[in-house]
């Protein structure tokens, strides 16, 4: 399962994501991971959630992020949910075809490996394709 939370800056995406992370940490039997650009959610998330600062690993493009996710999963098959806060800040991009390709990759990875994804995209909802809107 992949869930996308999309909206302009200041629309409450991160707050919504934090609530979902907390719920997943309580309900899911496996490990929960939250990837963000810099460690800003340290005090907002339960200690059981693995918080990853992408800036520590220089994840500057989608291929690097895909490799990072695959490596995390290969090292820990107990990961049941990966949250990504503000995808575009992590990879220093804006909404484009590559962003849609990454989301589609997450859908395929989720189906194959059984890992759920929830991510926030800071962009106008009107830019989203029908395929991405189906993930809202």
User: pLDDT tens digit string along 48-72?
Assistant: 999 999 999 999 899 999 999 999 9
Instruction: Report the relative pairing of strands 116-122 and 2-7 from DSSP bridges.
Output: parallel
Q: Return the percentage of the chain with pLDDT > 70, whole number.
A: 100
pLDDT digits (tens, 9 = 90+) for 77-112: 999 999 999 999 999 999 999 999 999 999 999 999
- In this predicted model, what pLDDT tens digit does every residue of 126-136 receive, in sequence order? 999 999 999 99
pLDDT in tens, 33-53: 999 999 999 999 999 999 999
User: Pick from 44, 39, 127, 47: which is nearest to 90 by CA?
Assistant: 39
Closest by Cα among 55, 124, 67, 39 to 92: 55
Mean pLDDT of 4-12: 96
Asked if 36 contacts 52 with a C-beta cutoff of 8 angstroms, the reply is: yes
Overall domain count for the chain: 1
pLDDT recorded at residue 8: 96
**pTM for the whole thing?**
0.96
Kindly indicate the confidence band of residue 117, based on its pLDDT and cuts at 50, 70 and 90.
very high
C-alpha–C-alpha distance, residues 80 and 32, integer Å: 6
Q: Which CATH number is 89's domain given?
A: 3.40.50.300
Structural domain boundaries enclosing 100: 2-133
Q: Cβ distance 114 to 52 under 8 Å?
A: no
Mean pLDDT (whole number) for 111-120: 98
**CA atoms of 20 and 13, how far apart (whole Å):** 11
């Amino acid at each position: 399962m992949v869930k996308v939370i999309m909206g302009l800056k200041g629309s409450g995406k991160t707050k919504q994501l934090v609530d979902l992370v907390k719920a997943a940490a309580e309900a899911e039997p496996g490990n929960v991971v939250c990837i963000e650009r810099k460690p800003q959610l340290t005090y907002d998330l339960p200690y059981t959630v693995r918080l990853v600062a992408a800036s520590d690993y220089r994840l500057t493009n989608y291929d690097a992020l895909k490799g990072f996710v695959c490596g995390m999963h290969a090292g820990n098959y107990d990961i049941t949910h990966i949250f990504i806060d503000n995808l575009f800040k992590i990879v220093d991009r804006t909404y484009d075809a590559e962003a849609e390709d990454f989301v589609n990759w997450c859908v395929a990875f989720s189906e194959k490996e059984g890992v759920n994804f929830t991510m926030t995209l800071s962009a106008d909802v009107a830019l989203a394709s029908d395929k991405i809107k189906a993930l809202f």
